[in-house]
């Protein structure tokens, strides 16, 4: 049984840069409250991955859009994953070789527009959603918005540990450089850059344990009567 009961249709937006812990935290929140969870980065990764597999040039927007229109029908979202042909490909999508392609397609306005509808549709009955623009663009009316941060070095360390778990052989320094570059791309792009929503609560998790961050978020939502103990 879940520890908390949400108000009907509760939408929780969790935004932040790569390695801020938002994915892990979104999952823990969703479990505690009994809501579905969507890591929206997986959608951009899915588009980048499909382009890589289909040998579509990654910076040609028209070709990417055509591909997206085709591949989105083959994809199914279920809480915690992206399924193609009945197989959850989330772990494959999270590998480092897909990240750069994802960042490139995420800068394309038409790709964002198309995925915006997919995300809003998924969230309509309540959801925990993590990404970069959830509180600002995808779910501007979400009842709870959080913006997670952590120092670059700590974020690189976390991401590196995660990649080790997925069988990667990349060095910590290379991971740090990639995150720095991705931060720059995500923050500087014209459409939906990474930005804190005005009404989001910001939490710096550099020196906090994951469970402490989750406890703080739950306490904030309980105080606002968005969730109650079961």
Q: Which of 29, 49, 64, 131 binds ligand DC (CB under 6 A)?
A: 131
Binding mask 164-183 for ligand DC (x = CB under 6 A): ------------------x-
- The DSSP result for 120-164, as a single string, is HHHHTT-EEEEESSIIIII-TT-SEEEEEE--HHHHHHHHHHHHH
Q: How far is the CB of 217 from ligand DC (least distance, A)?
A: 18
Q: Which of 40, 50, 136, 143 binds ligand DC (CB under 6 A)?
A: 40
Q: Environment class of residue 47 by beta-carbon count within 10 Å: exposed (0-12), middle (13-18) or buried (19+)?
A: buried
Of the ranges 37-45, 67-75, 172-180, 201-209, which one interacts with ligand DC (CB under 6 A)? Answer: 37-45
Residues 6+ apart with CB under 8 A from 127: 11, 12, 30, 35, 36, 37, 38
Comparison of 56 and 139: residue with beta carbon closer to ligand DC: 139
Confirm or reject binding of residue 102 to ligand DC (CB under 6 A): yes
Residue 224's CB is within 10 A of a number of other CB atoms, namely: 11
Q: How far is the CB of 228 from ligand DC (least distance, A)?
A: 29
Question: How many residues belong to the chain?
Answer: 230
**Total number of residues binding ligand DC (CB under 6 A)?**
15
Residues 170, 174: Cα–Cα separation, whole Å: 7
Of the ranges 3-11, 73-81, 102-110, 162-170, which one interacts with ligand DC (CB under 6 A)? Answer: 102-110
Q: Which helix (H) or strand (E) holds 24?
A: helix 22-33
Of residues 42 through 81, those in contact with ligand DC by CB under 6 A are: 44-45
Q: How far is the CB of 73 from ligand DC (least distance, A)?
A: 21
């Amino acid at each position: 049984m879940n520890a908390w009961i949400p108000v009907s249709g509760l939408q929780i937006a969790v935004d932040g840069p790569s390695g801020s812990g938002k994915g892990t935290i979104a999952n823990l929140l969703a479990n505690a409250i009994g809501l579905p969870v969507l890591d929206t980065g997986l959608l951009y990764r899915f588009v980048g991955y499909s382009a890589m597999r289909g040998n579509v040039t990654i910076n040609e927007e028209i070709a990417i859009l055509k591909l997206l229109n085709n591949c989105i029908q083959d994809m199914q979202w279920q809480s915690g994953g992206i399924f193609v042909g009945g197989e959850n490909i989330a772990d494959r999508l999270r590998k480092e070789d897909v990240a750069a392609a994802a960042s490139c397609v995420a800068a394309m306005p038409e790709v964002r527009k198309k995925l915006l509808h997919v995300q809003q549709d998924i969230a309509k009955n309540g959801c925990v959603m993590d990404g970069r623009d959830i509180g600002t663009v995808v779910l501007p009316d979400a009842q709870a918005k959080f913006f997670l941060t952590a120092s670059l070095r700590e974020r690189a360390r976390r991401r590196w540990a995660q990649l080790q778990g997925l069988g990667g052989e990349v060095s910590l320094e290379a991971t740090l450089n990639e995150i720095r570059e991705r931060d720059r791309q995500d923050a500087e792009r014209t459409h939906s850059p990474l930005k804190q929503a005005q009404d989001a609560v910001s939490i710096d998790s550099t020196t906090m344990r994951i469970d402490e961050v989750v406890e703080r978020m739950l306490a904030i939502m309980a105080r606002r009567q968005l969730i109650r103990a079961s």
